[in-house]
Structure 1
Amino acid sequence: MDDAADGMTGRYLLVLDDDFLDDTDRARVAVQEVCGGERPATTREGAPAPGRPRLFPELGVAVAELSPQQLAAARADRRLLGVEPERVRHAIGLSEEYLRGFRDAAQFLHAQLTAGAVAAAQFGDTEELTWGLQATGVAESPETGAGIAVAVLDTGLDLEHPDFAGRDVETRSFVAGQTVQDAQGHGTHVAGTACGPLAPSSGRRYGVAHEARLMVGKVLGDDGTGTDADILAGMSWAISSGAQIISMSLGADVRAVSTAYETAGRRALAAGTLVIAAAGNNARRSAGNPGFVGVPANSPSIMAVGAVDPSLAVADFSAASSTVDGGQVDIAAPGVDVHSSWPRPQVTRTISGTSMATPHVAGIAALWAQRTGARGQQLWAQLVQAAQRLPLPASDVGSGLVRAPGA
Structure 2
Amino acid sequence: MILLDQDEPERGMEALRSSVGISAVERVGGAEAVGAAELLQRPDVSVVFDDLGVAVVSAQPDQRHALVTTAEAEAHIIAAEPERVAYASVITEARQTLTGFYPTYRSDETEVAHHIRAQGAAGRGPAWDEYQMTWGVQATRANWSLLTGRDVKIAVLDTGVDTDHPDLVGRIAETASFVPGQSVEDGHGHGTHCIGTAAGPTEEGFRYGVAGGARVLAGKVLSNRGTGPDGQILAGIAWAVSRGAQVISLSLGSPVEQGELFPQTYETVARRALRRGAVIVAAAGNESRRPGFVAPVGRPANCPSILSVAALGKDLATAPFSCGGINGAGGEVNIAAPGVEVFSAAPDGTYATMDGTSMATPHAAGVLALLTEAHPDASAAELGAQLQSMAHPLPQPARDIGAGLLQAP
> Counterpart of 1:108?
none
Secondary structure in 2 matching 1:267: helix
Aligned pairs, how many?
368
Match of 2:339 among 328, 335, 346: 335
Q: Give the whole-Å Cα distance in 2 for the aligned partners of 1:352 and 1:273.
A: 26
Task: Please say if 1:370 is aligned against 2:367.
Answer: no
> Counterpart of 2:27?
41
Q: Quick one: which amino acid aligns to residue 358 of structure 1?
A: T
> Would the aligned equivalents of 2:154 and 2:247 in 1 still touch at CA under 8 Å?
yes
> Would the aligned equivalents of 1:35 and 1:64 in 2 still touch at CA under 8 Å?
no
> Counterpart of 2:77?
80
Q: Give the whole-Å Cα distance in 2 for the aligned partners of 1:357 and 1:403.
A: 12
Mapping of residues 91-130 of structure 1, within 5 Å? 91-93=88-90, 119-130=123-134
> Counterpart of 1:57?
50
Q: RMSD between aligned alpha carbons?
A: 2.3
Q: Quick one: which amino acid aligns to residue 65 of structure 1?
A: S
Q: Give the whole-Å Cα distance in 2 for the aligned partners of 1:176 and 1:14.
A: 22
Moved more, 32-41 or 168-177: 32-41
- TM-score normalised according to structure 1 size: 0.85
Match of 2:225 among 223, 226, 243: 223
Q: Give the whole-Å Cα distance in 1 for the aligned partners of 2:344 and 2:383.
A: 25
Output one character per residue of 1:116-156: Cα deviation in whole Å (capped at 9) or x when no partner: x9744413252211001111110010111112110000000
Give the gaps of 5 or more residues in structure 2: 96-120
Output one character per residue of 1:265-303: Cα deviation in whole Å (capped at 9) or x when no partner: 1111122210000001111113x1122101000001100
Q: Quick one: which amino acid aligns to residue 72 of structure 1?
A: T
Task: Please say if 1:20 is aligned against 2:8.
Answer: yes
Q: Quick one: which amino acid aligns to residue 196 of structure 1?
A: G
> Would the aligned equivalents of 2:194 and 2:344 in 1 still touch at CA under 8 Å?
yes
Q: Quick one: which amino acid aligns to residue 262 of structure 1?
A: E
Secondary structure in 1 matching 2:81: strand
Q: Give the whole-Å Cα distance in 1 for the aligned partners of 2:67 and 2:286.
A: 37
Query: Cα gap change, 1:140/1:120 in structure 2, threshold over 3 Å: closer, same or farther?
Result: same
Mapping of residues 354-365 of structure 1, within 5 Å? 354-365=357-368
Secondary structure in 2 matching 1:82: strand
Q: Give the whole-Å Cα distance in 2 for the aligned partners of 1:249 and 1:54.
A: 24
Secondary structure in 1 matching 2:82: strand
Q: How far did 1:56 drift?
A: 1.4
Q: How far did 1:239 drift?
A: 0.7
Query: Cα gap change, 1:60/1:392 in structure 2, threshold over 3 Å: closer, same or farther?
Result: same
Give the gaps of 5 or more residues in structure 1: 1-12, 100-116
Task: Please say if 1:268 is aligned against 2:261.
Answer: no
> Where do 4+ consecutive residues of structure 1 move more than 6 Å?
25-28
Query: Cα gap change, 1:336/1:184 in structure 2, threshold over 3 Å: closer, same or farther?
Result: same
Q: Give the whole-Å Cα distance in 2 for the aligned partners of 1:369 and 1:173.
A: 26
Mapping of residues 189-338 of structure 1, within 5 Å? 189-199=193-203, 204-255=206-257, 256=260, 257-286=262-291, 288-338=292-342
Q: Give the whole-Å Cα distance in 2 for the aligned partners of 1:27 and 1:171.
A: 32
Q: Quick one: which amino acid aligns to residue 224 of structure 1?
A: G
* % identity of equivalent residues: 46
Q: Give the whole-Å Cα distance in 2 for the aligned partners of 1:85 and 1:184.
A: 27
Q: Quick one: which amino acid aligns to residue 5 of structure 2?
A: D
Moved more, 73-82 or 54-63: 73-82
> Would the aligned equivalents of 1:123 and 1:135 in 2 still touch at CA under 8 Å?
no
Q: Give the whole-Å Cα distance in 2 for the aligned partners of 1:123 and 1:30.
A: 61
Secondary structure in 2 matching 1:388: coil
Q: Give the whole-Å Cα distance in 2 for the aligned partners of 1:70 and 1:326.
A: 27
Output one character per residue of 1:10-33: Cα deviation in whole Å (capped at 9) or x when no partner: xxx000124237xxx777766666
Q: Give the whole-Å Cα distance in 1 for the aligned partners of 2:198 and 2:169.
A: 16
Q: Quick one: which amino acid aligns to residue 151 of structure 1?
A: A
Q: Give the whole-Å Cα distance in 1 for the aligned partners of 2:218 and 2:12.
A: 27
Query: Cα gap change, 1:235/1:31 in structure 2, threshold over 3 Å: closer, same or farther?
Result: farther
Match of 1:158 among 158, 162, 180: 162
Q: Give the whole-Å Cα distance in 2 for the aligned partners of 1:123 and 1:138.
A: 17
Query: Cα gap change, 1:237/1:125 in structure 2, threshold over 3 Å: closer, same or farther?
Result: farther
